[in-house]
Amino acid sequence: MSEQNTPDGQGPGGPGGGGPNPWIRSLMIWGGVFLALLLAVSMFGGASQNTGTTISYSDFRDRVASGTVKEVQISDDRITGVLKNDETFNTVPVGNDSGLTKLLDDNGVTYSGTPKEQMSIFWVILIQSLPFLLILGIAFFALRQVQKNGGAGGAMGFGKSKAKMLTEKQGRVTFKDVAGIDEAREELEEIVEFLKDPQRFSKLGGTIPKGALLVGSPGTGKTLLARAIAGEAGVPFFTISGSDFVEMFVGVGASRVRDMFEQAKKNAPCILFIDEIDAVGRSRGHGLGNSNDEREQTLNQLLVEMDGFEANEGIIIIAATNRPDVLDPALLRPGRFDRQVVVPVPDIEGREKILDVHMKKVPLAPDVNPRTIARGTPGFSGADLANLVNEAALLAARRNKRLVAMQEFEDAKDKVMMGSERRSMVMTDDEKKMTAYHEAGHALVSLNEPASDPIHKATIIPRGRALGMVMRLPERDNYSYHRDKMHADLAVAMGGRVAEELIFGHDKVSSGASSDIQYATSLARNMVTKWGMSDKLGPLQYEEQQEGYLGMGQSARTMGSGETNKLIDAEIRALVEGAHKRATQILTDKEDQLHLLAQSMLEFETLTGDEIDQLLKDGKLDRPDEPRGPRKPRSVGGSAVPKAGKRFGGEGGTAPQGA
């Protein structure tokens, strides 16, 4: 959709809608100033211009005495004259030369006097005040231009709202373009229907909701829903970001809030969309004396405008945030935001619908199955799926294909999940061998833990920041985390470290398991302190965490005795060491399979979950020799250590070597 600034509720051309170009108007102003300067110079500078050749006074007397001067005009400060050859001259008299007239008479020179010029008082005042008038004129026109452009960010427009009104000239989005979040879409469709047919609801005593707050993880489609409302509502739609209110000057935020609602009242009924409202709507009073007074003043003005003494009939406020936990309670109450619409990460049905929407723009090969792709992308948001389709199209173009096949979607999914392949990275044979056994340890423990997710792919090709990884994907969308699954994940996390210990010895263990240990420690701590899965500590919470949809909350251990804290640390250690023992037992019993899997990974570099099952079942792997895409040879040499992969399972976050 196209956007236009509406600082005064008018079109871009001002009241008339067709004013002159501001650049042309500015050029005309400066041209007028320049012409005024030229006129002043021509008026008052011409009198001071000398006429003819300037000669010395002694030379003038000599010429008079020699008879070459025809006539002269004498004034107090200058003598001008004409020679007999019609040349003009001028000179400055020296002192009071009383003998000059006798000299002129003796040589037959015609002479006359010139009266002293008397300038009127008007011109004297004008000349003296002209510089000040020019400065004031330039300042006046400059400030006037700044004030006119204030709504678009000019220096004198800090108090003007930066809200923009969307039109339907291009890029119109409708609810048909929104898929996979049916419940959220239905709630917002009801608001649009109320605007189109208010009697249908008002006859039963219902009133239109004053506001709706869209909450959800990044990339789930909150802003897309707002754009769909703008395309469907048929009423003016204003949009602004929460960061557009508060700036460096005190009082600007509250002034912009007032101006924004004044614009909305002029265009009622209308919809006002505030994106990332947590930038201005954070809870007041946090930090006590260190609170942000300017932001709180802006929030107070927003609260008053949304539901204060003055009614805002016909103004519907829609806001979006992924941090509802930090918003002020007064902002969330009914009467301001009557509805909180949760925009979740789509399930498999939603992912399939989203893929269908994005695949309409891509020429697909017959083997592409959106259902299969949706099943293999648990936890993907709408933005992730859009990026997946785009990456697949780019891969097909790079491979000079006319259609995007299923292979491109699989490779794009691996790229999005695990990172880009780094085939040019230099690794020695010893480093590749250690990486292969590390990943084989993860994979083998995962296969022998019944509660573990199935293996999607195992690779020793460096991807992203990892030298290798084992990617596991759940068979379905999971909404809860069970104890047996947690113990299985702990064992899988320890599998890589245990494989290094068994094959290379205690002294050759690498730092590649650092993120495995970090993940296992974090999971064990959550089991003990948050989820009550320690028999000794019981179902009590020992850590509090404030976490929104960004997944980066802060944890703080609650007050407890020193003995309790020691017991917490002991239970965390016991869980991790127990997982280490289970992984050691599995890999010791399956050491032959560990060698087989590691050697196969050294040979093929990448194995799918089905290929790993076939290898462990038949003892060999039958794979066609045709490469799937353009490959580059890998060089040998250099130095590196195995590092952790990007994700653990299908849930996101830091993973134990990609297991």
Write the DSSP string, 393-457.
Answer: HHHHHHTT-SSB-HHHHHHHHHHHHH--B-TT--B-HHHHHHHHHHHHHHHHHHHT-TTSPPEEE
Alpha-carbon dihedral 567, 568, 571, 577, rounded to 10 degrees: -110
Tokens 């006002």 label which residue? Answer: 272
54 φ, ψ (degrees, to nearest 5):
-85, 125
Catalytic residue of the set 352, 391, 431, 439:
439
The two three-digit tokens of residue 416, written as one number: 């999005």
Specify whether the CB–CB gap between 275 and 223 falls below 8 A: yes
How far apart are the C-alpha atoms of 504 and 516, rounded to whole Å? 18
How far apart are the C-alpha atoms of 246 and 296, rounded to whole Å? 10
Count of Cβ atoms closer than 10 Å to residue 567 Cβ: 17
The two three-digit tokens of residue 617, written as one number: 């079942």
Count of Cβ atoms closer than 10 Å to residue 610 Cβ: 11
The two three-digit tokens of residue 566, written as one number: 């020691």
Exposure string over 259-293, b if 16+ CB within 10 A, otherwise e: bbbebbbebebbbbbbbbbbbbbbbbeeeeeeeee
Is residue 449 part of the annotated active site? The answer reads no
The two three-digit tokens of residue 219, written as one number: 């990339």
Beta pairing partners, 55: none
Question: Is the peptide bond prior to 115 cis by the omega test (within 30 degrees of 0)?
Answer: no
How far apart are the C-alpha atoms of 163 and 431, rounded to whole Å? 57
The two three-digit tokens of residue 596, written as one number: 């087989």
Residues designated as active site: 439
